[in-house]
Amino acid sequence: MIREISLILLAFLIFSCKENKKQIHGQSEKKEFQKPNIILILADDMGWSDLGCYGSEINTPVLDSLAYNGLRFTQFYNTSKCFPSRAALLTGLYAQQVGAGRTWQNTWRNSTTIAASLKEAGYMTWMSGKHHGVDVPTDKGFDKYYGLLSGAANQFNPGERRPGEPKPAQKRIRPFYVDGKRYEPYTPDSTYYSTDAFTTAALDWIETSEKETKPFFLYLSYTAPHDPLMAWPEDIAKYRGKYKVGYETIRMQRFAKQKELGLIPQDFKLSEPIYVPWESLSEKEKDKEDLKMAIYAAMIDRMDYNIGRVLNTLRSQEKLQNTIVLFLSDNGSSAEVVEIPGNGNIGTVGQWTSLGSDWANVSNTPFRMYKNNSYEGGINTPAILSWPEMNSKGMINDTFYGHFIDVFPTLLKAAGHSYPKNDTIFPLEGLSFARNTYPPHMKMSEKDRLMIDRPLFFEWADGAAVRKGNWKIVREKTEQWELYDLSRDAGETYNLAAVMPDKVLEMNAAFEAWQERVNKDNQ
């Protein structure tokens, strides 16, 4: 396996918009730069270890293939919560700057979106799936939108009860968009399953635009494997019984595989488990826990299959060679448990079931905690970058630490387009990890060099964190910072705050300055 050792090396390997020349009858002919198609795929509440290429036993051959033929990051950050992650992803700004730091019910301020900029660059722009905001995506630069506007919804029926079926388990009625029309509620037919439906909408756009010469940007935003845990029976059957070995066994199997894959060092110190001892459960409880995890796995399995549908279509159209695929998850696996009365049949339309903290701890192997926390288990999730033009087969980048705010500038760079100069929007906060190396020997600017070690800031609910270089301060439900050296202790097992108080003070000062700046931005 090829090991990524520096960001500079990465710069010379990916997204190089260099001159391509070929010899024809002894003369050089310049090949015109062709804008790549771009597919941005987002999973929902999926942990760091939930893909085969990140250590899992779940069958994910499509994403594994993208990873083994592309690039995996081991340190790619989100905000630890759904809607601020999505705001940061699309705007290239911290969620606090656009008004999404605490609620999804604000119109995004002071910003534009990836879609709007790529549309200016000549792209067709499509979004299918979950948005989790109040702004309709077609008002934010997308030509077409199909999907769920706000938060979690029933995977089989986000609307009203259908004849012959149980009442769909719901938190509340969510707005849904189909062909530009708003439905509230949206009651599809019985063939509907969210992951399948979101993919089918995307495929319709790809197929109807096959003859188009313009490139496309597709944002495919799944709700899998977010609760409610629901999946097709045939997918659940693939995993039923696999998890009766218990939390500890699955976690240690994943941990061992991560070392084998080269994702973590052999001496990685695993954080203390949070789950209860498997032996303390009754046989009935074990069976229920096995079923929950089997459904969770089935949801990821089905998502992988649907991503394959998209890639196969592009392959048949001979467009895959010039298509960038970036796969992310919006936060770590979730310990939240939603209690909604239902028909009791876990995995079906009539029962809302959550994964719970025990399996979430396993899903986030080898990291500490889960969604809603600023420890690594909440904010560090899989990131796979694939583009056949890249020449990065099987690479693992374990030095660069990226963030959702970096995606906007990266995709702009890949498209050969510039961020708009506009006094009404903030400058991008992110760093392009897709350096334009034209000409190939171009050296990094001093600004770029400084940005490699740039600080990243996190603040959600009762938690906060700062990452700068290998150092990280983090706190949860307290004013006291913990300090970790992530180069030696990414499992966050040994708190250095007491022995390095000056480092804590330095990073706290940076956090307070950032807080003041982004809060001022929102006034």
Active-site residue, from 131, 132, 226, 403: 132
Two tokens, residue 336:
């939240």
Q: Are strands 3-4 and 395-397 parallel, antiparallel or unpaired?
A: parallel
Confidence (pLDDT) at 214: 95
Report CA 308 to chain centroid distance, whole Å.
Answer: 18
Domain tally for the chain? Answer: 1
Active-site residue, from 82, 131, 226, 403: 82
Domain extent, residue 375, equals 3-416+425-521
pLDDT exceeds cutoff 60 at 103: yes
Q: Which residues contact 154 (CB under 8 A, 6 or more apart)?
A: 168, 169, 170, 228, 230, 349, 352
Q: How does the average pLDDT of the chain come out, rounded?
A: 90
Mean pLDDT on 55-63: 98
Measured in degrees and rounded to the nearest 5, phi and psi for residue 322 equal -115, 45
pLDDT digits (tens, 9 = 90+) for 377-415: 999 999 999 988 777 788 899 888 999 999 999 999 889
Q: Which residues contact 63 (CB under 8 A, 6 or more apart)?
A: 51, 52, 53, 304, 307, 327, 384
Reported confidence tier of residue 435, pLDDT bands at 50, 70, 90: low
Confidence (pLDDT) at 17: 40
Confidence (pLDDT) at 23: 35
Q: Where are the beta strands (DSSP E) in 149-226?
A: 176-178, 181-183, 216-221
pLDDT digits (tens, 9 = 90+) for 246-292: 999 999 999 999 999 999 999 999 999 999 999 999 999 999 999 99
Two tokens, residue 291:
């079923």
Question: Catalytic annotation on 132?
Answer: yes
Tell me the angle at which helices 61-68 and 283-316 cross, rounded to the nearest 10 degrees.
60
The CATH number of whichever domain residue 444 belongs to comes to 3.40.720.10
